[in-house]
Structure 1
Amino acid sequence: MNAVSRTDIGSRKENQDRVKVAILNDNTAFAVVCDGMGGENAGGLASELAINMVYDRVTSGYREDFDSNNIKNLLTSAVGAANVVVYNAARDDESREGMGTTCVAAIVRDGVVHMVNVGDSRGYVFEHGCLNQVTTDHTVVRFLYEQGEIGEEEMRNHPLRNKITKAVGVVQSVDIDYFEISVSEGGALLLCSDGLSNYCTNEVIAEYIGNYDADECADRLISHVIEQKGNDNITLALIKDL
């Protein structure tokens, strides 16, 4: 396996995204992406606190003899701990009111992806030339779509498309989605903030993952968003050759 990460400030004045990757052993890798929100420096603080907590909990707590349930508990408890840290930090300072962060994290072991997410940062798997989104966006437009009130095309251009319905640190306890999916040998895992997914189609991402090594693919994805004149921070973690 080959794990790489990239983050770019894009057109923003501050980068409130954070990303970390780690190879835990010969057959296991870990990645996490957080996209902070909040005025002044609050968003950056939220994502920094959250990613450090999740990364430290997972890398120190993982054991090679863990079964799937152990891995699920490790990931969900790590994000739960991050929620507490961010929530308490917001309560400590009135200027941080409402700060929070998305979080998508995954452990990949022996071709099985264990993934958690809160918010609209996404997790994808790539296999057989196709890219599939694993996570479900916690957004207003996704909710409206599921209720049948808007269609796919309206989702892309809706004025509330960036409004999330769930985030780490906003409330005292947060519901965390968990996914477990098998990926064919040679497949790949991509985690990213919406600064990437809003400006790259699945076809573009699949083309780059399928034709370039991890480092070049990551660089090309960032460059593609910049060429599209994206107006957000751009962040990704890519694990290839699962």
Structure 2
Amino acid sequence: MFLAYGTDIGLNREENQDRVRVEPLGDNICIAAVCDGMGGAASGGVASQLAVDRFIGRVQENFRPQMNDNSIRNLLLNAVHYANTCVYEKSIEDIDKNGMGTTCVAALVIERRVYVVNVGDSRAYLLNKDGISQITTDHTYVETLVQSGKITAEAARIHPMRNVITRAVGVEPDVEVDYFECSESDNFAVVLCSDGLSGYCSEEFIYCTVFGNNLDDAVRALIDHSNEGGGRDNITVAIIAN
């Protein structure tokens, strides 16, 4: 299993409020998470750091290699809910942090099994011999318009409210979490990223970059491409490949 990740402040922000962690859990087992914080002053960075650390820590504490699919599902969902509670409680303890929150997308890869959880508009992509597909669904206002047929996916990319998310970790006492799982054959990769990358890198570019380079070079190329496209947000990506 091969791992690579990176994050960049971008060209238009004073602080990087994205956070990423990638941690091996055993032979051919890895957990990765990307969180994109939101909130005034430094609150977004506090939310994303707290969420990624609490989520990863919970998984590390409770993961067992012999777990079945249902146990893994419960583990990942519990870890997101735990992170949500930690961020929410922190936000109500400090008036300066009221309303802070973060996206959270995470993937647990066990050999050829892929398990994903998601809240917000950070994304998970699956890349294999058949191409690239977005595993997650964006929890955004414009995605609800796309799903209802009111606008096209192309229009959503430039919609003035494209960054308005409808779910976030830590904003409310509880949170709804999406869960996905699948099995893969040889030669696949999972890409996690914040919207600072997915907003500038097409699926085709992501696919060609990941499978056309070693992973460290792919991470750098994806970040560079996002900055070359404008870099108006923080940029974060994590890649797990078998």
TM-score between both structures, scaled by the size of structure 2: 0.97
Larger mean Cα displacement after TM superposition, 122-131 or 73-82: 122-131
2:64 aligned residue: 63
Q: Tell me which residue corresponds to 2:227.
A: 226
Q: Give the RMSD, CA atoms, in angstroms.
A: 0.9
Name the structure 1 match of 2:207. Answer: 206
Please state how far the C-alpha of 1:182 moved relative to its aligned partner.
Answer: 1.6
Name the SS of the counterpart of 1:164 in structure 2. Answer: coil
Correspondence for 2:194: 193
Distance in 2 (alpha carbons) for counterparts of 1:231 and 1:129? 32
SS of 1:76's equivalent in the other structure is helix
The residue that corresponds to 1:170 in the other structure is: 171
Distance across 1 between alignment mates of 2:24 and 2:182: 19
Q: CA deviation at 1:157?
A: 1.0
What's the counterpart of residue 7 of structure 1?
A: 7
Deviations 1:154-206 (A, max 9, x none): 11111110000000000110010000012221100000000000000001000
Aligned-partner Cα distance in 1 for 2:135–2:220:
23
Does the 8 A contact of 1:139 with 1:165 survive in 2?
yes
Equivalent residue letter for 1:236: V
Q: Distance in 1 between matches of 2:195 and 2:168?
A: 14
CA apart distance, 1:6: 0.3
Q: Is the Cα–Cα contact under 8 Å of residues 129 and 210 in structure 1 kept in the other structure? A: no
CA distance in structure 1 between the aligned counterparts of 2:9 and 2:102, rounded to whole angstroms? 16
Q: Residues 31-62 of structure 1: CA distance to partner in whole angstroms, max 9, x if unpaired? A: 00000000001100000110110010111211
Residue ranges of structure 1 left out of the alignment (5+ in a row): none
Q: Which residue of 2 aligns with 1:81?
A: 82
Tell me, in whole angstroms, the C-alpha distance in 2 between the residues paired with 1:191 and 1:183.
17
Q: Deviations over 1:80-105 (max 9, x none)?
A: 00000111111112221211000001
How far does residue 129 in structure 1 lie from its aligned partner after superposition? 5.5
2:161 is matched with 160
The aligned amino acid for 2:5 is S
Kindly state the Cα deviation for residue 216 of structure 1 after the two structures are TM-superposed. Answer: 1.0
Say whether the 8 Å CA contact 1:129–1:206 is kept in structure 2: no
Say which SS state the counterpart of residue 190 (structure 1) adopts: strand
- Alignment partner, residue 128 of structure 1: 129
C-alpha deviation, 1:146, in angstroms: 0.9
Q: Secondary structure of the residue that 2:220 maps to in structure 1?
A: helix
| 2:173 partner amino acid | Q
Q: AA paired with 1:216?
A: D
**Residue 239 of structure 1: how far off its partner (Å):** 0.7
- Counterpart of 1:212, as a letter, is N
2-side partners of 1:207 and 1:103: how far apart? 25
- Residue segments in structure 2 that go unaligned for 5+ positions in a row: none
SS of the counterpart of 1:6? Answer: strand
- 1:115 corresponds in structure 2 to 116
CA distance in 2, matches of 1:227, 1:157: 17
Counterpart of 1:172 in structure 2: which amino acid? P
| Secondary structure, aligned partner of 1:166 | coil
